Amino acid sequence: MDTFAPIIDYVSRYVQLTDEETALFRTFLKIKRVKRRQFIVQPGFICKHKSYVLKGAFRTYLVDHKGKEHTLAFAVEDWWVSDYSSLIYQEPATLFVEALEDAVLVQIEYDDEQTFLKEIPKLEKFERIITQRSLAFQQKRLLSNFTQTAEERYQEYMQKYAAIANRVPQYMLASYLGFSTEYLSKIRNKRTSKS
């Protein structure tokens, strides 16, 4: 089986590469196997890769000055994960990216990405499209935090991402949605008693 087929298929949703461009792009891709609870990014170290998830689940989070964890994102198969600020500016990371399951990633090194973006101009378009989509997603999430109740945020997440919610611990999901684990339990119990 072609290990890189999923990421090549992902790119082809947005741009069509020639066989030669695809072959060149493949030379920049590296497979990384990660064990559950292993970090691929940690604060204080410069993030050198962006990672496409072939298998597994990840959580991106930060720890505040009081030691409290705040979950910013989850990533599962066919999603990207990194500390993008650290990667783009090549400065020390502020986030943790942790494997929640044994996982397999396709990683692209920062310097390699800069090279192939020059050599394969279509990938500049690909980067623009996925960056715009990511920015739009982050804006929607921010707006929902300002305009929706906790229960509405939970309902919306479950409608869109129930499969992810079932793969992550309850306290991480609560942290992502912006409330306590106890409150998440109340919402779930309320929904169960209505059914």
pLDDT tens-place string over residues 60-107: 999 999 999 999 999 999 999 999 999 999 999 999 999 999 999 999
Q: Assess contact for 81 and 75: CB atoms under 8 A.
A: yes
Against a cut of 0.75, is the pTM above it?
yes
Amino acid at 20: E
Question: 136, 164, 180 — which closes off a domain?
Answer: 136
Task: Note down the domain range covering 118.
Answer: 5-136
User: Do 10 and 68 fall into the same domain?
Assistant: yes
Element (H, E) at 124: helix 122-147
Final residue in a domain of this structure, among 136, 156, 173: 136
Instruction: With cut-offs at 50, 70 and 90, classify the pLDDT of residue 194.
Output: low
Query: Which pLDDT band, with edges at 50, 70 and 90, does 153 fall under?
Result: very high
Q: Does one domain contain both 80 and 10?
A: yes
Q: Which long-range contacts (CB under 8 A, 24 or more apart) does 75-79 make?
A: 76/163, 76/164, 76/167, 77/6, 77/53, 78/6, 78/10, 78/52, 78/53, 79/52, 79/53
Q: Are residues 132 and 152 in the same domain?
A: no
Confidence class of residue 2 from pLDDT cuts 50, 70 and 90? confident
- Strand 80-81 versus strand 49-55 pairing type: antiparallel
| Domain-embedded: residue 166 | yes
The rounded distance, in Å, linking the Cα atoms of 174 and 182 is 9
- Give the mean pLDDT of the chain: 95
Band of pLDDT at residue 189, cut at 50, 70 and 90: confident
| Whether residue 165 sits in one domain with residue 70 | no
The pLDDT of 150-154, averaged and rounded, is 94
Q: How many domains does the chain have?
A: 2
